[in-house]
């Protein structure tokens, strides 16, 4: 009887591990209002013309636990999605485990330019491309707190 219970527990654990790995492969699709293929100059021009903050997110949505937490707690919430559609230029640069799953664009170049040292990194830029503020990691915080940070 003990062998059957142990076998069932091992099978359940293996299944849960497999399911978690499947979710990791897919990553996340966030609502954005800018293309990762856009040049920095284009993004800054748009930010200036529309008088909206430019927010960049560097993430590993498929493998990074804090990135997943930020995604679940903030980036997929209706209030944040409305904010990025209407009141901000928000661009996501995703760095998945698999290079074949990488989003095309200038993420690697921008990550070097802005010295991204950890994931997730949220950056707020001024109209000249200077970093006004950055948040590295996710230590909690509500959607409202993130919107306040992005707009002050």
CB atoms within 10 A of CB 49: 9
Look at residue 74 and tell me if it is in a domain: yes
pLDDT digits (tens, 9 = 90+) for 53-82: 999 999 998 899 999 999 999 999 999 999
d(CA 121, CA 143): 16
pLDDT higher at 114 or 12: 114
The pLDDT mean for the chain works out to 81
Look at residue 5 and tell me if it is in a domain: no
Look at residue 92 and tell me if it is in a domain: yes
Predicted confidence band at 4 (pLDDT cuts at 50, 70, 90)?
low
Look at residue 127 and tell me if it is in a domain: yes
Which residues make Cβ contacts (< 8 Å) with residue 94, sequence separation at least 6?
A: 27, 28, 36, 59, 60, 61, 62, 102, 103, 107
- State the pLDDT at residue 115: 94
- State the pLDDT at residue 17: 42
- State the pLDDT at residue 44: 93
The arithmetic mean of pLDDT across residues 120-124, rounded, is 96
Find tokens 């928000």 and name the residue.
90
Look at residue 7 and tell me if it is in a domain: no
Look at residue 143 and tell me if it is in a domain: yes
- Does residue 19 have a pLDDT over 50? no
pLDDT higher at 33 or 110: 110
The domain of 114 spans 27-151
Look at residue 3 and tell me if it is in a domain: no
Question: In this structure, what CATH number is given to the domain that contains residue 94?
Answer: 3.40.30.10
Both tokens of 119, joined, read 């994931």
Look at residue 9 and tell me if it is in a domain: no
Number of domains in the chain: 1
């Amino acid at each position: 009887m003990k062998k059957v219970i142990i076998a069932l527990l091992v099978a359940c654990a293996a299944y849960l591990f497999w399911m978690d790995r499947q979710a990791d492969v897919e990553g996340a699709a966030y609502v954005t209002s800018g293309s990762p293929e856009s040049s920095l100059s284009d993004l800054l021009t748009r930010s200036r013309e529309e008088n909206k903050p430019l927010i960049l997110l560097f993430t590993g949505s498929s493998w990074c636990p804090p990135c997943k937490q930020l995604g679940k707690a903030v980036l997929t919430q209706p209030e944040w999605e409305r904010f990025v559609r209407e009141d901000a230029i928000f661009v996501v640069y995703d760095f998945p485990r698999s290079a074949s799953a990488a989003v095309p664009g200038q993420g690697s170049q921008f990550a070097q330019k802005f010295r991204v040292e950890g994931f997730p990194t949220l950056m707020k830029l001024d109209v000249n491309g200077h970093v006004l503020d950055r948040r590295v990691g996710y230590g909690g915080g509500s959607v409202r707190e993130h919107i306040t940070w992005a707009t002050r």
